[in-house]
Chain A
């Protein structure tokens, strides 16, 4: 894992003091709310329905036990004993006081954490593959590149007042576990003629106008990576729309200019920048790599004792193949039946921290599906791990099933939401668990957003649900056929929306169509792609 040096520490410490001063000026009336808002947002502080909300960055989703413990302690000391893990691998606290915010940031800084640029029209937390450094199928560990980008993007003097927010994702495998092409910039680390480089996809995103990012450059040499990113951003900063908030994301610029014209402008800017000394010294990347080196893996059992069916089910569902065959990556589900997706109590965070220290070389990851990963668990330790997870209500065997849905906080917490998301998630997981259908459905990605901003990734759900406001009443649109993975696609709306009860029934209906039509090993998504929307529509509306 990356460790701060004195420079990094000084930067976050300076940021804490800068924010403390900004908050003081706000409370003294020297800053208006309009002036203060972008400043607090760039420190992760929102004003939500019930209180301030603080969003803490977990860079590329990686943290250690001490950091997870610090998050637990903040939840208990300053919040109401819990936090919410988000689709951008961050953590949100829902009940923060402005007068405490600087102290919380100071507590975070003590464990090399921060809330820098977790909101605002700037470059946000860099996201990555939650199995980075552990997955058997990756080319290299993407995190040194993500860390290089994190430092470059932190307090970037030119790109702090962009037309709109800007999200970057880095992966290094053909399999996409991070929704890479639904980011403003998606970077895939690739190999070409024996050389490692970066493939750039620009202009993806969800929100009200979902777009899949087109590839604009298939290979950027590593010693030009930051310069190329800077060129992409400069073209956006100069020409991204500022007249309409809803058309301000880079996806609209790329779409309106056309991929080729946008690329031409980037290449022109890039050519100009190459001799401007923008790129950090090449030694910096080499400095970063050893931080992410493999821990010392030991030999051990390669199979588990399957005599306990509950344990066997959990192993089948919630573990992922590791590059060392005596290990797996274990997924800790934050989706207990009828629970709130992504929420964890302070006590649960401490359990996860301890288990990471005990079983996973002191490392945890946050998944964009709002779960937690222990990346390097010895197969021989799995039963002991599962037993302790289960005791803490963290052992739900449901990864990638319908019960493992993504849900945004929705109208229960969020000032932007039009409808509640969490109650739907709770009722659907309860219903499918009770009927035993979850297992039969296999991999089925359900994603629920409480408004058009799509924090719940509904466009990318095999089944997506979007909450809307219909004359003051919550209403839900159903969509089918999305995917955030390497087979990326955008879901299509089935037709008229439903009430809360109606949409839950509708989800059941479409899963029944799938089960009736399924051929061989087809997943829901495969069947949908083969048979199209018509049979589902017929079952829903006729």
Chain B
């Protein structure tokens, strides 16, 4: 049995999903690729998120660890998973701070388990920073450029 790596459901401070929270631990990317039954995995900054693509159907939770908020590799990992069609929970864990929340959300994260609990009011303000966006991601938001040229909503 692999060591339990994951954050527990009560460490999740913000969650933008209605389904049940996975209540067991995550395994490493390597373990996930070797193990046919793992449903929760944790990505470290140096891991290649694409190694998980064959297993997306059975995954219900992917945690992306940010040991330091300044290491931005997790943003690419998140987008790669969403672009490949992953629909399970994508949880940002570790050194997750107020001012990274809106960008993380745009990259596909829908759950946040910061090491240090964040000020609720400041965090809600941060999530709502951008009424509109310039870049297309898989979060479903219409970009400013699309709106300029006729796209609704």
Contacts and interface: CB of A to CB of B under 8 A. Distances in A.
Q: Do chains A and B touch in the complex (CB under 8 A)?
A: yes
A151 B122 contact: no
A162 B125 CA distance: 24
Contacts of B69: 35, 161
Nearest to B138: A276
B81 to A, nearest CB: 13
B138 A121 contact: no
Given A10-B132, A14-B130, A155-B130, A161 B137 contact: no
A11 B129 CA distance: 9
B83 A276 contact: yes
B75 A237 contact: yes
Contacts of B149: 281, 283-284, 287
Interface stretch (B17-25, B28-36, B54-62, B140-148): B140-148
A159 interface: yes
Most B C-beta atoms less than 10 A away, residue of A5, A30, A280, A287: A280
A21 interface: yes
A14 B131 contact: yes
B106 interface: yes
B70 A161 contact: yes
A188 to B, nearest CB: 24
A29 interface: no
A155 B125 contact: no
Contacts of B137: 157-158
Nearest to A239: B73
A345 B125 CA distance: 39
A38 interface: yes
Contacts of A11: 130, 132, 134, 144
B99 interface: yes
Contacts of A154: 134
B114 to A, nearest CB: 12
Interface in B98-147: 98-100, 102-104, 106-107, 119, 122, 125, 129-138, 143-147
Interface in A127-147: none
Contacts of A272: 83
Contacts of A5: 148
A156 interface: yes
A158 B134 contact: no
B78 to A, nearest CB: 8
A234 B83 contact: no
Contacts of A52: none
A38 B70 CA distance: 8
Given A21-B125, A30-B119, A272-B83, A161 B75 contact: yes
Contacts of A18: 99, 129
Contact of B143 (A158, A160, A280): A280
A255 B15 CA distance: 42
B129 A157 contact: no
B116 to A, nearest CB: 11
B71 interface: yes
Contacts of A30: 119, 122
A238 interface: yes
Interface residues of B, number: 40
A154 B76 CA distance: 17
Contacts of A281: 145-146, 149
Contacts of B125: 21
B134 A152 contact: yes
Nearest to B48: A238
Contacts of A158: 72, 75-76, 79, 103, 107, 135, 137
B38 interface: no
B12 interface: no
Interface in A272-317: 272-273, 276-281, 283-284, 287
A193 B51 CA distance: 40
A39 to B, nearest CB: 6
Contacts of A151: 134, 144-145
A7 interface: yes
A530 interface: no
A22 interface: yes
Interface in A217-269: 234, 237-238, 242
Given A7-B147, A151-B144, A284-B145, A160 B72 contact: yes
B134 A155 contact: yes
A234 B134 contact: no
A302 to B, nearest CB: 41
A39 B72 CA distance: 14
A156 B135 CA distance: 7
A540 B130 CA distance: 59
A208 interface: no
Contacts of B143: 280
Nearest to B72: A161
B97 A35 contact: yes
B19 to A, nearest CB: 24
B145 to A, nearest CB: 4
Nearest to A36: B99
Given A18-B129, A151-B134, A159 B72 contact: yes
Most B C-beta atoms less than 10 A away, residue of A11, A156, A161, A287: A161
A237 B72 contact: yes
Contacts of B106: 157
Contacts of A283: 148-149
Given A7-B148, A151-B145, A238-B76, A160 B103 contact: yes
A175 interface: no
A25 interface: yes
Nearest to A15: B129
Contacts of A238: 48, 73, 76
Contacts of A152: 134-135
A482 to B, nearest CB: 33
11 contacts: A35-B69, A121-B72, A158-B76, A158-B107, A160-B75, A161-B71, A161-B72, A238-B48, A281-B146, A284-B149, A287-B149
Interface of B: 45, 48, 69-73, 75-76, 79, 83, 97-100, 102-104, 106-107, 119, 122, 125, 129-138, 143-149
Given A14-B129, A160-B72, A161-B75, 7 more contacts: A14-B130, A21-B125, A22-B99, A155-B134, A159-B75, A276-B83, A283-B149
> Shortest 9 CB-CB distances between A and B: which pairs?
A161-B72, A157-B106, A280-B145, A157-B103, A7-B144, A283-B149, A284-B145, A158-B75, A281-B149
